[in-house]
Amino acid sequence: MNPQGIFDVIVIGAGSIGTPAAMYMAQAGLKVLVVDQFASPGQGSNKAAIGGVRATHSDPAKIRLGLQSTKVFSTWQEEHGQDIEWHSGGYCFVAYTEQDEKSLQDLLVIQKSYGLNIDWLDGQAIRELIPAINPLGLRGGTFSPDDGHCSNLLANHAFYLSARQAGAVFHFHETVQAISIHNNRVTGVVTDRGSYQAAIVVNAAGPWAAQVGSMAGLSHPVMPDSHEAGITEPVAPFIGPLIVDIHPGDHSANIYFYQQNTGQFNFCLTPEPHIWGYNCNETSDFLPLVSKRMISLVPRLAKLRVRRTWRGLYPMTPDGSPIIGWADQPDGYLMAIGMCGQGFMFGPGVGSLLTRIITQNELSVQDREILYILRSNRDFIGNEMLK
């Protein structure tokens, strides 16, 4: 097949990662093609996210990527004029048990050492912050006021418009079927509609990353892990922060929810055990489980009507952290995969990092630290606590 175009970089996937990555790469002067199998940007896992954005993590690489991304989301409207419904309400990880209190307090040491604006609040202070919270047994929690939330749909679209403006080319409804490799170097991709040349191919294929990796002869430990979410009717604002309860509950590892600027509550539950696979049909199990936990945390929610639930995929790795960087081989194959439950919030941070990897000869100490932690040949035995 004759190549239909020659690019500097081909990005596979216009999702939470691929779209902002294309934006930064095109702004840096690279000729970028983004190929996505779906009809428009952000239609994979991106659209299933609920829009939580935080730098509150337990791993230094994720804290750094979170800080960089939060800055971009929180200043987007000011810098670019588009309203992505950003709200700096902060994240509040609540503790109702001694063990959760200890785990969260232990993390503060590393979080603060990486510059995170976060503190422990006792039960009384949490009640002042969230008057509707259930006070029974509340020991306290962490609060990070610079974290927040925004619309994952609006943000991805805003990145897409900026990427196009900077010259990135997007092909939708087109599936990458093969990665072309010559003398152990990437030379482009073959799709169901044609072939394209580039010396660099970025795997930003989200839950499909392992399939794309196999096209380059690689085996990536990224599995589709299904999670459900939902949205309620809108009500007058009464909750500021995004609330996370990391305590294991009935068939769930944790829950998180927040009230949008427009009044609706967005909520999500991490199933325990994991539900692996690509099935995205909603279940009848989710709502009874998640509503019970939300109402026990915020009893006022009991009267709220749910508008819709949906199910999407976390691109999950064994240790709960992404895989970012060049493959040892083939040359020119760059990975930005395995974003787990945080790919939306990492989009701008990962996108700008990928651009620096491609364009800079010498990376900063901070970037090198991130890439070392998130390297593809790590042992994957760690377990990121706030994944």
Ligand X SMILES: Cc1cc2nc3c(=O)[nH]c(=O)nc-3n(C[C@H](O)[C@H](O)[C@H](O)COP(=O)(O)OP(=O)(O)OC[C@H]3O[C@@H](n4cnc5c(N)ncnc54)[C@H](O)[C@@H]3O)c2cc1C
Q: Which residues bind ligand X (CB under 6 A)?
A: 12-18, 35-38, 43-46, 48-52, 175-176, 204-208, 212, 227, 229, 268, 312-315, 339, 341-345
Nearer to ligand X, 101 or 144 (CB): 144
Say how far apart CA 6 and CA 196 lie, in whole Å.
6
Say how far apart CA 208 and CA 231 lie, in whole Å.
26
Nearer to ligand X, 143 or 314 (CB): 314
How near is the Cβ of 337 to ligand X at its closest, in Å? 6
- Helix, strand and coil content of the chain, in percent to the nearest 5, comes to 35, 30, 40
Nearer to ligand X, 9 or 138 (CB): 9
How near is the Cβ of 292 to ligand X at its closest, in Å? 18
Nearer to ligand X, 36 or 59 (CB): 36
Nearer to ligand X, 38 or 120 (CB): 38
- DSSP assignment string, 109-124: HHHHHTT---EEEEHH
How near is the Cβ of 50 to ligand X at its closest, in Å? 4
How distant, in Å, are the alpha carbons of 219, 234, 235, 284 from that of 311? Answer: 26, 21, 24, 11
How near is the Cβ of 29 to ligand X at its closest, in Å? 23
How near is the Cβ of 71 to ligand X at its closest, in Å? 15
Residue ranges in 86-183 assigned as alpha helix (H): 98-113, 123-129, 152-165
DSSP label of 94:
E
Residue nearest to ligand X (CB): 15
Nearer to ligand X, 44 or 89 (CB): 44
Residues 6+ apart with CB under 8 A from 227: 48, 268, 269, 270, 271, 311, 312, 313, 314, 341
How near is the Cβ of 258 to ligand X at its closest, in Å? 9
Pairing type for strands 252-259 and 265-271 reads antiparallel
Residues 6+ apart with CB under 8 A from 225: 274, 275, 276, 313, 314, 315, 316, 340
How near is the Cβ of 53 to ligand X at its closest, in Å? 7
Nearer to ligand X, 52 or 348 (CB): 52
Write phi, then psi, for 84 (nearest 5 degrees).
-105, 20
How near is the Cβ of 151 to ligand X at its closest, in Å? 11
How near is the Cβ of 98 to ligand X at its closest, in Å? 28
Residue ranges in the chain assigned as alpha helix (H): 18-27, 60-80, 98-113, 123-129, 152-165, 209-214, 286-297, 343-359, 365-373
Nearer to ligand X, 34 or 138 (CB): 34
CB 274 within 8 A of CB 316: yes
CB 356 within 8 A of CB 367: yes
Report the first-to-last Cα separation within the chain, whole angstroms: 43
Peptide bond into 330 cis (omega under 30): yes
Nearer to ligand X, 120 or 283 (CB): 283
DSSP label of 305:
P
Peptide bond into 273 cis (omega under 30): yes
How near is the Cβ of 385 to ligand X at its closest, in Å? 16
